[in-house]
């Protein structure tokens, strides 16, 4: 019976993963027969029900997660429930419920996703990666090249079908920024591309993972990230990739072989991007757009680094007790998401929540099992990049991104050897 229950949870988790991440495809296929809002709300409701089911598994002690993650999940939910109750009284039901939904309940999906075998997750991630990256690349070509007649109008009509409140595309230099399959905000799709590109790049560094399809996935997700023109996500991927690339060299059985793999991978990416320029799939002028996105003036670093401090005692109150967005502190409105969350949800609650997000990293560092650490490196690198993306905006906490993040996150919890951090057994 336990094996049957695990199989059911696995198939339900796979169905949810595909439905939520590719619900935009469903919207386009069903338009205009079925309103987009009904599909989005249906996916959100299904996801919420599964998160509550994950909570029920935690309360009944039916499944085991490494200690102290279950306690962190429950403490996080309790603290956010108190925050939501206060926000409900002082602000509005919507502003109280949504953070509780995304930050409090969603992490319990780990109880479902941990039952997905790696081979099935890899298959699903291939489907998701192809759909998201190809859609974004084609949208960029529609907007910024002459390959298609009426390209802008076509791309605009697709986005309008995805999101009825879509208004206009943003621009960087002379290029329109594609919104991707998520709609509305380029940062959201860019964040998914950052996590997926790093995942596939590091997956290729594993023994026996160097198949042609995996190289193709690494190339198209990296290209999707580049064409998203989201500087913050590109920087997050570069930082996370550099850090874990160096760590990967240190823990590799054969350091020379690992370095050679990295060199080969970089060469393949360079050749792929060069061919994209050669065949004019990428306009040469985009190089200037990238420079502008990261420059001091064009990158809007002034607003990003504006901490908007006010009265010290008000900022300290918001830091410790949260609710800064209710007018208590301007720090809750800064663009650096990692800081903003502290002033919105309070110091203790944020520390607990961040501890959950980086738990796989802590678990990975604490493990003394070298084989396990090498095996899980792609997942830990992807989770790290997801966390780093919080430095600008909070796209990680959107529906599709948090589901992709948790699906990869949960693979670090399905371990045969390391079972805990510290001296206690898994609970």
Q: Which residues are registered as beta bridge partners of 171? A: 176
Average pLDDT per run of 10 along the chain, which is 427 residues long?
A: 75 91 91 86 91 91 84 95 90 84 94 91 96 95 87 92 88 86 84 96 84 90 91 91 92 87 87 80 71 59 57 77 78 78 91 96 91 94 95 85 95 62 39
Dihedral pair phi/psi, residue 67, rounded to 5°? -70, 140
List, for residues 323-373, the tens digit of each pLDDT value: 787 877 777 777 777 888 898 899 999 999 999 999 999 999 998 898 999
Total Cβ atoms within 10 A of residue 81: 14
User: What SS3 string covers 131-177?
Assistant: HHHHHHHHHHHHHHCCCCCCHHHHHHHHHHHHCCCCCCCCEECCEEC
- Cα 360 from Cα 418, distance rounded (Å): 12
Taking the whole predicted model, whether its pTM rises above 0.85 is answered as yes
**Residue 394: what pLDDT?**
83
**Residue 426: what pLDDT?**
37
**Residue 419: what pLDDT?**
41
**Residue 295: what pLDDT?**
60
- Cα 341 from Cα 211, distance rounded (Å): 40
**Residue 301: what pLDDT?**
54
**Residue 2: what pLDDT?**
56
Residue partners of 39: CB distance under 8 A and separation at least 6: 23, 26, 27, 30
Domain assignments of the chain as residue spans, ordered by start: 2-299+358-413
**Residue 422: what pLDDT?**
43
């Amino acid at each position: 019976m336990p094996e049957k229950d695990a199989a059911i949870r696995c198939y339900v988790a796979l169905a949810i993963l595909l439905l939520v991440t590719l619900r935009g495809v469903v919207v386009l296929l069903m338009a205009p027969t079925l309103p987009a809002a009904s599909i989005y709300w249906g996916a959100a409701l299904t996801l919420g029900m599964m998160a509550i089911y994950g909570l029920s598994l935690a309360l009944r002690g039916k499944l085991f997660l490494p200690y102290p993650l279950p306690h962190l999940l429950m403490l996080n939910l309790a603290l956010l429930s108190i925050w939501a109750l206060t926000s409900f009284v002082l602000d509005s039901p919507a502003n109280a419920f949504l953070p509780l939904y995304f930050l409090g309940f969603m992490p319990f999906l780990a109880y479902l996703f941990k039952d997905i075998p790696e081979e099935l997750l890899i298959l699903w991630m291939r489907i998701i990666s192809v759909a998201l990256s190809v859609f974004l690349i084609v949208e960029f070509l529609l907007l910024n090249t002459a390959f298609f007649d009426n390209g802008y109008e076509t791309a605009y009509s697709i986005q309008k079908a995805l999101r009825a409140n879509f208004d206009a595309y943003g621009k960087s230099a002379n290029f329109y920024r594609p919104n991707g399959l998520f709609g509305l905000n380029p940062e959201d799709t860019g964040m998914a591309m950052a996590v997926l590109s790093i995942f596939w790049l590091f997956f290729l560094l594993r023994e026996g993972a160097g198949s042609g399809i995996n190289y193709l996935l690494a190339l198209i997700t990296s290209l999707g990230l580049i064409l998203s023109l989201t500087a913050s996500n590109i920087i997050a991927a570069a930082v996370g990739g550099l850090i874990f690339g160096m760590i990967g060299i240190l823990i590799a059985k054969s350091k020379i072989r690992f370095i050679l793999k990295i060199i080969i991978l970089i060469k393949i990416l360079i050749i792929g991007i060069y061919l994209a320029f050669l065949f004019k799939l990428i306009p040469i002028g985009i190089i200037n757009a990238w420079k502008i996105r990261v420059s001091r003036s064009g990158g809007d670093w002034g607003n990003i680094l504006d901490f908007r401090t006010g009265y010290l005692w008000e900022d300290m109150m918001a830091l410790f007790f949260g609710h800064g967005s209710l007018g208590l502190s301007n720090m809750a409105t800064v663009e650096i998401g990692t800081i903003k969350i502290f002033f919105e949800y309070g110091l203790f609650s944020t520390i607990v929540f961040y501890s959950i997000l980086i738990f796989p990293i802590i678990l990975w560092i604490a493990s003394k099992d070298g084989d396990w650490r090498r095996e899980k490196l792609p997942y830990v690198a992807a989770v790290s990049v997801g966390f780093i993306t919080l430095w600008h905006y909070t796209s990680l906490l959107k529906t599709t991104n948090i589901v992709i993040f948790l699906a990869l996150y949960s693979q670090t919890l399905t371990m045969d050897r390391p079972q805990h951090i510290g001296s206690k057994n898994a609970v």
